[in-house]
Amino acid sequence: MRRASSFAMNDADFKAFVIPFYRSLLGFWILVLVFGGVFMELKQHILLGKFLFEHTLPFSLLPLGFLAYSGFHLRFQMAILRRKEYQVFHQTALIPFRDFAKKWAVIILANHFILIAYLVFLSYFGIEKQAWTPLLLLWAVVGFSLALPILLIYRYLGKPLKEAVLIRPRWEGKLPRITWFPLELRQNRPILLLLTKGLSLLLLNGFFLSFRSGNYDHRWLEFGILCVSFFHIPILLEKNEFENSRMAWFRNLPSPFLPKLLTHLGTLVLILFPELLFLFWKVLPLFAPDRLISLPLLLISGVIALLALIYRYPDRYFYRVAFGSFFGCFLVLLFGVPWIFPVLAFVIFFGFQIRSPFQL
């Protein structure tokens, strides 16, 4: 039983070494999702894979890029191991190196998983072209980049602790309130944010690809917007929890209606920024300017309507209401109701839920 459990990552390792790493690179991964999932389609990734194994110089960017990423990862882990709250992990240098290596191999693989998965995808085209030497070089670099940090971290943890160094925070100004919840997600729920953004962008891209086949009209895209709105329910539930716990004391301070509405809208626009960028990028060459306005407004209003449902039904009854609302909105789109009417209905419903001065 002990030997089998050594391959698994416990909750402490995940919270200590995986979540903080992805949190520090959250902006980078959002850019990767935007450019790799929005601006590039699957056929372009296929063409890229074939191109890399046909040209030596561009191919060299793969092992060099992985080395750079692995170097940043090692530097990050070394930095957090110097913190006072991480001193307890210095005791792990006392365990046998074999067990230590198994423990850190899982952590390192988790932090490199996305890149490794993409390299596996690209390697298919190397096998197709029988480019065995570049493939061997690539995966030798990958193996070296994954193994070396384990040895260096083990040697570092085996040394005596050094005196802690206090680092002055870089930001000293006042943070706008619309950034509080996005920063909360970045700080404590980066995996949730990345998964939601990735899945919603893939879903949007799929709807646009099928729409361009010519078999659907604009209602198909509006249905896609509806599905993406419901994909954000986990984030909206986190927002409600954040307001009821971390921001509960704000309920003692009456808030004017209009600034409160603008704060909610600004927060949700920041969260929906990758999807809105996708819509502006894809809609502009396909539709008249009115669609460039209607689809983003449908997305924003659909999300705030779901947030209003969470405010109104904070218990398990919300899921039943949300399920019924999904089919109700689907029928509205199916019968071709002009987009301005559901948008106005969603905004009015949300405004009704936050009309109280003591409602956040």
Confidence of residue 3 (pLDDT cuts 50, 70, 90): very low
Least Cα distance to 226 among 205, 200, 247 occurs for 200
Instruction: Answer with the residue of higher pLDDT: 357 or 101.
Output: 101
pLDDT digits (tens, 9 = 90+) for 6-38: 445 677 778 888 888 887 777 677 667 766 766
As a whole number of angstroms, the distance between CA 187 and CA 200 comes to 21
Rg (CA), the chain: 24
Q: Are 302 and 225 in contact (CB under 8 A)?
A: yes
Q: What is the mean pLDDT of the chain?
A: 81
As a whole number of angstroms, the distance between CA 101 and CA 197 comes to 33
Min mean pLDDT across 115-119, 198-202, 252-256 is at 252-256
Q: What is the pLDDT of residue 147?
A: 92
Burial class of residue 2 in the structure, from the number of CB atoms within 10 Å of its CB (0-12 exposed, 13-18 middle, 19+ buried): exposed
Per the listing, tokens 């936050």 go with 354
Structure tokens at 257: 């209606």
Q: Are 300 and 265 in contact (CB under 8 A)?
A: yes
Burial class of residue 90 in the structure, from the number of CB atoms within 10 Å of its CB (0-12 exposed, 13-18 middle, 19+ buried): middle
As a whole number of angstroms, the distance between CA 60 and CA 56 comes to 6
Q: Are 304 and 353 in contact (CB under 8 A)?
A: no
